[in-house]
Structure 1
Amino acid sequence: MKFLKGFFSTAHALLGILFVLVSVLITVLAIKTGWAAIGTIGGNGDESAEMAIEAIGLLAIAVVSLQIAQTITEEEVVRDAHISAPTRVRRYLSRFMVVVVVALSIEGLVGTFKALHEKPELLPHAASVLVAAGVLLSGWGVFIRFNKAAEELEPEAMEAAKSEDAKIDE
């Protein structure tokens, strides 16, 4: 069993590193796209705006990738947390939900700007992404509300989760 635990910790660490590398790659791509947008300022203004919006979207994806890497590394490698207590489930899920909701919101805004400049008929699609982010945020709030009641039934689980936080602060 210790072998499997070590294997999965190593696998999670490797995945965290891969997410960081992908984030760096996408950031470089966003910088190139942003630089190209600056180069086209004197020419076509619409093309420059589209490229700047594309760079923002790429940066949003890079940030999401980096946040996922941080969450995986902190939760699975550093803390070696056991996701069973209500407190731990809420905290773990909340870290991912922040990333997903922010990413969806940014992508929805980027999609809205792109649709306005390129194809206005795609505006309902961009709006549906923003609505999905709102529904996800609302569902997350309901989950936290119900989970808070479960946490009150297990105060020792809250203390155990707080003690795991000390590993991150070191």
Structure 2
Amino acid sequence: MIYIKKITEILFTVVYLIAACVLIGLSIAIMGFSIHEVFINFNQDSGFISLMLHTVGTIIISAAILDVAQYMIEEEVMMSKELRDPEEARKTITKILVIISIAVGIEGLVYIFKAGTEDLSLLIYPSILIMVSAFLIISLGIYQKLSVGIEQAERERIVVKT
């Protein structure tokens, strides 16, 4: 039974490593393609600003993909899979929510600039993105406050027992 658990852990570690490497490759390919598109269309006057904003958006998405790949390598490949205590769980959730809120917020800003150059009625979607990003940050702050209180209570309970 112990061997099956060890083999399963190794298998999933390899799968996470492969997935992270694929994400890194895709992210670099997306960035490269976006930059290539800018260079190809550099001398064209029509739509260059729109292309630049699109390129910024795709590079932001690529950076978020790289962050996810980095998280997978750090947490799933290099460290133990089990969350041993509430502090470790809080740090992991914090990393994930920070990655998401940054990507959503920056994407909202890019779309605001894009909507400003095209049609102001398109500002609703990017405004919602920025509000979602702000909500994520506020939620993360509340979660941090509550979980730190739980961690301190847990530490005090352990100290009292010993």
Structure 2 counterparts to residues 1-150 of structure 1, below 5 A: 1-40=5-44, 43-44=45-46, 47-150=47-150
Cα distance in 2 for residues equivalent to 1:144 and 1:105 = 20
Measured on the aligned residues, the alpha-carbon RMSD in Å equals 1.5
TM-score of the superposed pair, with normalisation by structure 1 = 0.83
Q: Gaps (5+ residues) in structure 1?
A: 156-170
Q: Shift of the alpha carbon at 1:94?
A: 1.3
Size of the aligned set, in residue pairs, is: 151
Identical positions, percent = 22
CA contact (8 A) 1:23 1:63 kept: yes
Runs of 4+ in 1 over 4 A off after TM superposition: none
Cα distance in 1 for residues equivalent to 2:38 and 2:87 = 41
Cα deviation code 1:104-123 (max 9, x no counterpart):
01110111111112232111
CA contact (8 A) 1:33 1:54 kept: no
Between 119-128 and 27-36, report the one with greater CA deviation. 27-36
CA contact (8 A) 1:37 1:52 kept: no
Q: Which has the larger radius of gyration?
A: 2
